[in-house]
Amino acid sequence: MSESLFSDASQRLEQALKYATISEDAIERLKYPKASLSVAIPVRMDDGSLRIFQGYRVRYDDTRGPGKGGVRYHPNVSMDEVQSLAFWMTFKCAALNLPFGGAKGGITLNPKLLSKFELERLSRGYIDAIADFIGPDTDILAPDVYTNPMIMGWMMDQYSIIQRKMTPGVVTGKPVAMGGSLGRDTATAMGAFYVIQALLPKFDRLPGKTTVAVQGFGNAGSVIAELLFHAGYKVVAVSDSQGAIYAPKGLDIPSILHFKNMVKGVQAVYCDGTVCNVVEHQVLTNAELLALDVDVLIPAALENQITQDNVADVKARFIFEVANGPIASGADRILEQRGVHVFPDILVNAGGVTVSYFEWVQNRSGLYWTLEEVNRNLQQRMVQETERIWTIAQDLSISLRTAAYVHALNRLGEALDAKGTRDYYMK
């Protein structure tokens, strides 16, 4: 990719700035991350050898509150990717009116090649390396790609050891027994489901007559597929990293989930199975899934899945971005010109950070909510902000993505300008 991911991400703002109420000072501040950290993490492997892993943490902006963002374990993790994700988190938190700034972290590795002992040593080593950079009032971690509640629990425990006191608020997405919130494991998918349920009726789309393809069958993708299945949508295709399965009459999502869980085994950290082995449906590649003639396409894997190279193949009428940045900016413009409705990641997948906020609040107060309370508050927050962004889009005749950024920029601009602007000082 000739252009960096961050440069591509930054282009999202160009249209929004035409409509946002924001000063030049605020725009200048948002061009750069507040702080970036690159660390080397030494890990003693099970065979006695020593390996060094590259880790990152970026706090992009903390004007509205402490940084907030996940930690991903993936071979493609880089400073450019982490900075881009922290940038998106800044706008996501503002769009949902959460008292957080944007942050992100990651380690470059294939976690499936490490034992559980090695993963624990790596996770604790990462916290050792960044402990002075994070904290419940500074920068709060959460799970992301190939990290999970167990890993978050290790990280919280290690930070508490360093601080010599229990500090549950430094990490969200922890096991419930360690101060985690009920509903956090399904929050990203639940939030996306509430957005879908709020928006598709505006286009007269009924569940029983709406076909759906989901790219990515991890924590978010598998749950959103199951939620849509039970709501009556016809989920015709799903995929994981190995490939996709497709059935025009619809898939039995609970059966596929059962298979994945059976293959994984109760003691495994990661699932080694692939949905391609579930039943004898038509087997596709991930690229072929993106090109299916369906009503709704849900990219729930990694960024840059739809680019200018394959956007012409996309036939879906509606795209809900459950993954972060799955559509490159160039492809986004083409989809808009073709009349495809794209519902942006900074809204659609914000359920995860919203329930992380709820968890952080519970940790600080010592009062813990029921699952019903969590989901009720999540639905209220997601639908409320969805309706506000929808109204902005209709009033200004702009896309939902641009409207979401306008909404976020207005909130960020207000907070940044509260510290003083050129107009204030030059009066």
Task: Write the DSSP assignment of 144-202 as a string of letters.
Answer: -TT--HHHHHHHHHHHHHHHTS--GGGBSS--GGGTPPTTSTTHHHHHHHHHHHHHGGG
Rounded to 5 degrees, what angle do the CA atoms 383, 385, 391 make? 100
Which pLDDT tens digit goes with each residue over 264-299? 532 233 334 555 544 456 778 888 899 999 999 999
- If pLDDT is split at 50, 70 and 90, which confidence band does 2 have? very low
Instruction: With 0.85 as the threshold, say if the pTM is over it.
Output: yes
Does 4 have pLDDT greater than 80?
no
Look up residue 94 and give its two tokens: 């503002």
Alpha carbons 377 and 191: distance in angstroms, whole number: 11
Q: Is 273 helix (H, G, I), strand (E, B) or coil?
A: coil
202 among known catalytic residues: no
Q: What are the tens digits of pLDDT across the range 321-339?
A: 999 889 988 898 899 999 9
Cross-strand bridge partners of residue 33? none
Of the residues 104, 174, 234, 260, only one is catalytic, namely 104
Structural domains of the chain, ranges and CATH numbers in brackets: 32-178 (3.40.50.10860), 181-355+370-427 (3.40.50.720)
Please write the tens of the pLDDT for every residue from 36-65.
999 999 999 999 999 999 999 999 999 999
Tens-place pLDDT, residues 62-102: 999 999 999 999 999 999 999 989 998 999 999 999 999 99
**Contact yes or no for 317/340 (Cβ under 8 A):** yes
> Per-residue pLDDT for 29 more than 70?
yes
